[in-house]
Amino acid sequence: MKTYKPGGAGAATPAHAATNVKHKIHNSGEYSQQAKPFPIHCLPPSVAAMARAIAETERTPASLAGCCTLGIVSASIGAGVRVRSGPDRFTRGNLNIVGSAESGSGKSETFRHSSHPFHEFERELVEAWRKSTLPGLQTEKDMIEAEIAAEIAKVRKNGGRKDGKGPDASTRDEIKARLEKKKADLAAVEAQLHAPVLSVEDVTSERLASLLAVRDETLASLSADAGGIVNNLLGRYSKLDRTDEGIYLKAYSGDFCRVDRQTRQPILLQSPCLAILWLVQPDKVETLLAERSLTDGGLIPRLLIAHTHADPRPIIEGATGIPATVQADYRQTIRALLENYRMAGEPLTIEPSPQALAAMNAHFNGIVDRRKSDLKDVSTFAARWSEQAWRIAVCLHAAEHPSAADDHPLEVETAERAIELADWFAEQQLEILSAGRHKAKRETRDKVLALLADNPKGIRASDLYRARITRHADEAHGLLAAMEAEGELTGRDEKPVGGGHVTRIYRKAKP
């Protein structure tokens, strides 16, 4: 087995993997550190080397190249590999990565370098199909259509009867049976008359569902400028004037999906799989987050969103290109993933080692604990962090074993590196959400102060709950205690004259 020595603070061991996010993200729930660099060392060797070379050549942050290369690995796997992430539970490696970068910052060049082997493979696939497969299919289609025409001609000639009353029942049934078979043969041929497609860019949700239906239900949505995709997602061009994320949700989780259309037959997808790599302007990220229905519906928490902080950069004389050996190794990895997994039939299943499973479970349990405390207001987002770690682990493992992923267990080292990458994306998510979290926190506290203005003698935790400022009493106690600790309120314990439980009464702190 290959061994890796992550840099930086190092990967988490199973004993403390659950606290990894907690150490990196302040318990206050607010992001206050400078953004940490993308952990390129967690990527498989050939992918990490390519990401570093792209960043150096294009003078862009490692985060941009890291997001792009990881996204292409995910796209190259498709639905071909999955991991047993629990009893009767399997997780695939399709990631939904959305990275932001300013215009002229190198995002198009970074995307081009990262996606080149993927698009090269796709182009070769289409060219081979057109030369070797399409002519035969078209010929077969023409022959079947001619045979159908001949059968119909027999009916028009009255089945050969001289009385002109048409074919007798027996002859008609024979013709009908032959026509039905030929129609079925024609439909089978026409179903193959679609050129191979591995990726899409700016398509409507309905078109995406149609393409998934004729492409083994597996695609990648790849774009160096996904502004148009975001607009489609937001329903900007929809007559219904509403967001259009249904197919993206189903294709992330692999759930059954039915798309009904007015003029055609419904599209039925059994287990669609879509990997996403979108690069957008920073304002598009804010636009997505501002659309509450996308968050409430579950799409935004499923996205690995990051501001890559790529800025416009000057041209440097004498800059070196990406080493040929680095390009060749990366190309070989991506093509192997495409050939052995993306183009495969049934998915291969990775079994995690006991140590890897323990690390992943510890990571999950640590997040569960924090969702009850400092991550309570972003619980919907944090709920996906552990699943993202499993998905990233599939990508890392497959890229480490590009020909037979199921012959090797998912090792704890791979799980730890997947957790570190998932934690990095979690940090980016909290950073992006921090402004909204702070605003929501302030609005809630202002409601408490307004309640105090109406009750100058003091308020109790039960008052907040009754005023629906908090969802339950425990949350009210926590909010009031935090406001007291930060100097906004003062509190004192009071015991009823006749006896009973001690109650803490809060008043507004004096300036």
DSSP 37: P
User: What is the bridge-based pairing of β-strands 257-259 and 267-269?
Assistant: antiparallel
pLDDT in tens, 350-379: 999 999 999 999 999 999 999 988 888 888
Confidence of residue 475 (pLDDT cuts 50, 70, 90): confident
Q: Are 75 and 199 in contact (CB under 8 A)?
A: yes
291 Cβ contact list (under 8 Å, min separation 6):
234, 243
Each domain of the chain, given as residue ranges in start order, spans 17-126+196-437, 127-191, 455-508
SS3 503: strand
Q: What is the pLDDT of residue 437?
A: 59
Give the pLDDT of residue 436: 58
pLDDT at 239: 56
Which pLDDT band holds residue 2 (cuts at 50, 70, 90)?
very low
User: For residue 165, what pLDDT is reported?
Assistant: 58
Residue 23 pLDDT more than 60? no
Quote the pLDDT of residue 21. Answer: 40
Alpha-carbon distance 425 to 238, whole Å? Answer: 31
Question: What's the Cα-to-Cα distance from 450 to each of 85, 426, 503, rounded to whole Å?
Answer: 48, 34, 21
Select the more confidently predicted residue: 485 or 31: 485
87 contacts 295 by C-beta, under 8 angstroms: no
Residue 163: the pLDDT is 53
Q: Tell me what the pLDDT averaged over the chain comes to.
A: 85
CA distances from 382 to 15, 254, 302, 454, 476 (A): 20, 20, 10, 36, 22
pLDDT band at 389 (very low <50, low <70, confident <90, very high): very high
- CA–CA separation, 470 vs 93, rounded Å? 38
Query: Cα 34 to the chain's mean position, in Å?
Result: 25
pTM: 0.78
Tens of pLDDT, residue by residue over 175-210, are: 888 889 999 999 888 878 888 899 999 888 888 998
Q: What is the pLDDT of residues 291-305, one digit of tens each?
A: 878 888 889 999 999
* CA dist., res. 346 & res. 253, Å (int): 17
47-51, 179-183, 189-193, 326-330: lowest mean pLDDT where? 189-193
What pLDDT shows up at residue 161?
A: 52
The answer on pLDDT for 438 being more than 70 is no
pLDDT band at 167 (very low <50, low <70, confident <90, very high): low
Per cent of the chain over pLDDT 90 is 53
Is residue 39 pLDDT above 90, yes or no?
Answer: yes
pLDDT in tens, 217-269: 999 999 999 988 888 888 765 555 566 788 999 999 999 988 876 567 788 89
DSSP letter, residue 279: E
pLDDT per position as a tens digit, 99-118: 999 888 899 999 999 999 99
At residue 154, the pLDDT reads 73
Contacts 24+ apart (CB under 8 A), 456-465: 456/507, 457/505, 457/507, 458/505, 458/506, 458/507, 459/505, 459/506, 459/507, 460/503, 460/504, 460/505, 460/506, 461/504
* Percent of the chain whose predicted confidence (pLDDT) is above 70: 88
Q: Is-contact 77 398, C-beta < 8 A?
A: yes
Mean pLDDT over residues 395-399, rounded? 98
Which one has a higher pLDDT value, 66 or 12?
Answer: 66
Phi then psi for residue 456, to 5 deg, are -60, -20
- Overall fold of domain 17-126+196-437: Rossmann fold (3.40.50)
Residue-wise DSSP of 208-268:
HHHHHHTTTTEEEEEESSTHHHHHHHTTTT-TT-S---HHHHHHHHT--EEE--SSSPPEE
Q: Which residue has the higher pLDDT, 70 or 26?
A: 70
**pLDDT (0 to 100) of residue 27:** 34
CA distance 57 to 330: 16
pLDDT at position 1: 37
272 and 254 Cβ atoms separated by less than 8 Å: yes
Residue positions counted in the chain: 511
Tell me the pLDDT tens digit for each residue of 333-346: 999 999 999 998 88
What was the pLDDT predicted at 189?
87
Q: How distant, in Å, are the alpha carbons of 140, 155, 160, 178, 181 from that of 175? A: 20, 8, 13, 5, 10
What pLDDT is stored for residue 316 in this prediction?
A: 75
Structure tokens at 321: 């290109």
Angle at which helices 473-485 and 412-454 cross, to 10°: 80
Burial label, 56 (beta-carbon count in 10 A; 0-12, 13-18, 19+):
middle
Using an 8 Å Cβ cutoff, are 145 and 186 in contact? yes
Tell me which of 364-373, 400-409, 414-423 is least confident.
364-373
Residues 6+ apart with CB under 8 A from 309: 35, 61, 63
Q: Which residue has the higher pLDDT, 458 or 260?
A: 458
Residue 159: the pLDDT is 53
pLDDT given for residue 30 in this prediction = 37
pLDDT value of position 317: 74
Token match 């009031």: residue? 480
Q: Give the pLDDT of residue 387.
A: 97
> Residue 9: pLDDT above 50?
no
Average pLDDT over residues 145-173: 71
Q: What span, in angstroms and rounded, lies between the C-alpha atoms of 46 and 329?
A: 6
Return the structure tokens found at 64.
């941009």
Q: Judge whether 249 and 297 are in contact, CB under 8 Å.
A: yes
Q: Are 197 and 215 in contact (CB under 8 A)?
A: yes
For the chain, first and last CA: distance in Å?
A: 64
The dihedral over CA atoms of 118, 119, 121, 127, expressed in degrees to the nearest 10, equals: 170
Q: What confidence category does residue 125 fall into, taking pLDDT thresholds of 50, 70 and 90?
A: very high
CATH architecture of 455-508: Orthogonal Bundle (1.10)
Nearest to 202 by CA among 230, 181, 178, 175: 230
Tell me how far apart the alpha carbons of residues 242 and 237 are, in angstroms, rounded to a whole number: 9
User: Alpha helices, DSSP H only, in 312-384?
Assistant: 324-337, 354-371, 379-382
The dihedral built from the CA positions of residue 474, 477, 478 and 480, taken in this order, carries a sign that is: positive
- Same CATH fold assignment for domains 17-126+196-437 and 455-508: no
With a cut of 50, say whether residue 18 has pLDDT above it: no
